Amino acid sequence: MRSGEFATILRLKERFRSDAAAGVLLGIGDDAAVLEAKPFDKLVWTIDEQVEKTHFRRDLAGWIDIGWRSFMAAASDLAAMGAEPWCALSALSLPADFEDEDLDALTRGQHAAAVRLGTSIVGGNLTRGELVTVTTTLLGTTDRPMLRSAARAGDEIWIAGRLGLAATGLFALERGLIDERLDGVKEAWLRPWARIGEGRHAAKRARALVDVSDGLAQDVGHMAEASQVRAVFDEKALRAHANRTGLDTVAELIALDPLEVMLGGGEDYVLAAASDVPLEGFWRAGVFAEGQGVALKRTGGRERELFELGYDHFRSRL
Amino acid sequence: MRSGEFATILRLKERFRSDAAAGVLLGIGDDAAVLEAKPFDKLVWTIDEQVEKTHFRRDLAGWIDIGWRSFMAAASDLAAMGAEPWCALSALSLPADFEDEDLDALTRGQHAAAVRLGTSIVGGNLTRGELVTVTTTLLGTTDRPMLRSAARAGDEIWIAGRLGLAATGLFALERGLIDERLDGVKEAWLRPWARIGEGRHAAKRARALVDVSDGLAQDVGHMAEASQVRAVFDEKALRAHANRTGLDTVAELIALDPLEVMLGGGEDYVLAAASDVPLEGFWRAGVFAEGQGVALKRTGGRERELFELGYDHFRSRL
């Protein structure tokens, strides 16, 4: 970082101070933030860390994208609990030669994401480290926290959001593919959305909820396991979705199988719900059944077991 | 990490599940933790990140020490607000070849520190990264958050804890000095304490409070600046303290100036309060006066301005 510490902290204060959330008694500038506890809601609390070379590379994404993505990734855990974001802290680890303008871009991305979700960053920590890490902890509120363990056999699998685009976009970015028809999927990876509204809707009507960050098969697999049921995706429904979103065409351009990226690719931050009633803004992707494991029901009717799909870099919740 | 992800998460659940704090409705195992909001207290919220090669080196400290230190460092921010810890989340970034037994030791250290403070780790995040990072976010409660900006000219500087030992211990560790007379100062660096009880006491009687992680002169300097007063340390009081704690003898052994390590060394996590009444368990180290800056009043009565002391690796609160 080129500026001294003091100047840096002042700039960050300036950026984040304008939009302190309701109930925040003290924001950036002391040893900790101070909040007025809300007596009527349950608090939902999450932390997510994005690490250079594991979650992002400087040459593939701008710092503003990295700030945005890291904030949305953390907020997606609140969406997955059916909660509404309240406020956030951010811990940044930065190399000594990190440029001021890059820090400005990074925090601008965090700030923009926070504003879009109606929340704010009320404090944090800044430290030196050889690799950039962006850690976000968020508090949210909800009357009804949505667990992953409450799915029942007979529920259907409902998805909010477009599936497989981010993984396709990351593939294109990593290989340096330039084609304007790929811009949409690149954008899906660079600027994901935490689906707070859909999560709040699911909290009213659905039974169980998760977000998909490590791959549909894997994350819904966790849900099935926690609920002691079997998840069966419907190939026909997935292919129809790929057709609606244009994923099939884009994937074909770069020789990817749309079904594979939908089942295995993460970081779209879609929500997956178990519900016995249709959910507004969600599309149906399969069913939960008696048994265990995760399977794909082929167009012909046969079920294929799904193993080891998903980008497992052992990133997971404790 | 040698075990698979699933086995690792299970082990961590097992470690942390036994001692969930009151008000924790859902701990480790879903997308986020769920808490019952406490209507009668204010919430105090902090985050701290400890990064390999910046805050610790594998060859100088055991993983159990690193776990303990990182938890106490974060909790010290709550002490500095006069708050009592409620519960915590932990985010770990670990290299792919990190050994199971090292992870066990690291989390054992976190857990031991949490238990000693009467709090618990209720969730977190686990990710891969080339460097080990240990990030801790803590929620605490208090009726009266202690700000750093409330010191007044005429208040005295009161310290809870022994000063300069941790910096002396780190110096000895870094140089590989082996002498049993150095064991105590090494222990001070390896196993610091967040002074929660003293912070709670200060919240009843003192005016302003900080913890000292970056050096006494620097951290009390921040307090003086935020309060628009001048901090003047008393050399005689500091030297008497060094004599009581044995720091003077130990520092002499390794050719350190005890006054320099007391003013410049951080990571003892002592508390520094501004108060116009004596505080139980604190010792008097100087006064706040009209003016600005940080000075040392020499034994002869002359004041020397203190600049640039303290281990500033631009680690600071946002």
Q: What is the pLDDT of residue B315?
A: 34
Write out pLDDT tens, residues B55-96: 999 999 999 999 999 999 999 999 999 999 989 999 999 999
Q: Into which CATH architecture does domain B5-142 fall?
A: 2-Layer Sandwich (3.30)
Most confident range, picked from A6-10, A53-57, A283-287, B94-98: A283-287
* Inter-chain CB pairs, A–B, below 8 Å: 273
Chain B residues whose beta carbon lies within 8 Å of the beta carbon of residue A51: 93, 127-130, 133
Looking at residue B244, its pLDDT comes to 97
pLDDT over 70 (residue B191)? yes
In the sheet that holds A84-94, the strands lie side by side as B24-26, B33-36, A42-51, A133-142, A84-94, A121-128, B316-317
pLDDT given for residue A19 in this prediction? 56
State the amino acid at position A229 in one-letter form: V
Task: Verify whether the Cβ–Cβ distance A139 to B44 is below 8 Å.
Answer: no
pLDDT at site B245:
96
- A156-305 belongs to which CATH class? alpha beta
* Mean predicted lDDT score pLDDT of chain B: 89
CB contact under 8 A, B128 and A314: yes
CB burial of residue A144 (10 Å; 0-12, 13-18, 19+): middle
pLDDT attached to residue B20: 62
Residue numbers in B near A147 (CB within 8 A): 26, 30
Is it the case that residue A75 has pLDDT exceeding 90?
yes
Cβ of B32 within 8 Å of Cβ of A46? The answer is yes
| Residue A198 amino acid letter | E
Which of B233, B235, B280, B231 is CA-nearest to residue B257? B235
Nearest-angstrom CA–CA distance, A69 and A61: 10
Q: Which residues of B touch A126 (CB under 8 A)?
A: 314-318
A33 with B42: Cβ contact below 8 A: no
Residue A301's pLDDT is 86
CA atoms within 13 A on the CB side of B211: 29
pLDDT-derived band at A181 (thresholds 50, 70, 90) equals very high
What pLDDT, in 10s, does the model give residues A234-244? 999 999 999 99
Contact A106, A69 (CB under 8 A): no
pLDDT at A30: 72
**Cβ contact, residue pair B126, A39, below 8 Å:** no
- The 10 Å Cβ neighbour count of residue A92 is 26
Q: What is the pTM of this model?
A: 0.90
Nearest to A130 by CA among A194, A33, A53: A53
Least confident residue range of A267-271, A309-313, B41-45: A309-313
Residue whose C-alpha is closest to residue A238's, from A282, A302, A284: A284
| Residue B89 near residue A46 (C-beta atoms within 8 A) | yes
What pLDDT does residue B310 have?
A: 42
In the predicted structure, residue A62 carries a pLDDT above the cut 70: yes
Q: Which of A8, A34, A93 sits opposite B49 (nearest CB)?
A: A93
- Output the CA torsion B55→B132→B140→A140 (10° steps): 140
Question: Which pLDDT score, from 0 to 100, does residue A91 have?
Answer: 95
> What is the bridge-based pairing of β-strands B230-234 and B294-297?
parallel
Subunit contact B45:A55, Cβ cutoff 8 A: no
Q: What is the predicted pLDDT for the residue at B266? A: 81
Contact B1 A314 (CB under 8 A): yes
CB contact under 8 A, B123 and A147: no
CA distances from B223 to A206, A306, B217, B309 (A): 50, 58, 10, 15
| Among candidate residues A97, A86, A83, A93, the one with its CA nearest the CA of residue A142 | A83
Chain A residue at shortest CA distance from B3: A314
Query: Smallest Cβ distance to A131: which of B129, B141, B147?
Result: B129
The reply to whether A156-305 shares the fold of A5-142 is: no
The pLDDT of residue A315 is 34
3-state secondary structure chain A: CCCCHHHHHHHHHHHHHCCCCCCEEECCCCCCEEEECCCCCEEEEEEEEEEECCCECCCCCCHHHHHHHHHHHHHHHHHCCCCEEEEEEEEEEECCCCCHHHHHHHHHHHHHHHHHCCCCEEEEEEEECCCCEEEEEEEEEECCCCCCCCCCCCCEEEEECCCCHHHHHHHHHHCCCCCHHHHHHHHHHHCCCCCHHHHHHHHHHCCEEEEECCCHHHHHHHHHHHHCCEEEEEHHHHHHHHHHHCHHHHHHHCCCCHHHHHHHCCCCCEEEEEECCCCCCCEEEEEEECCCCEEEECCCCCEEECCCCCCCCCCEEC
**Separation of alpha carbons A269 and B34, rounded Å:** 21
pLDDT in tens, A205-257: 999 999 998 899 999 999 999 999 999 999 999 999 999 999 999 999 999 99
Chain A nearest-CA distance from B207, in A, is 14
Q: Where are the domains of chain B?
A: 5-142, 156-305
Q: How confident is the model at residue A312 (pLDDT cuts 50, 70, 90)?
A: very low
Percent of chain B scoring above 90 in pLDDT? 72
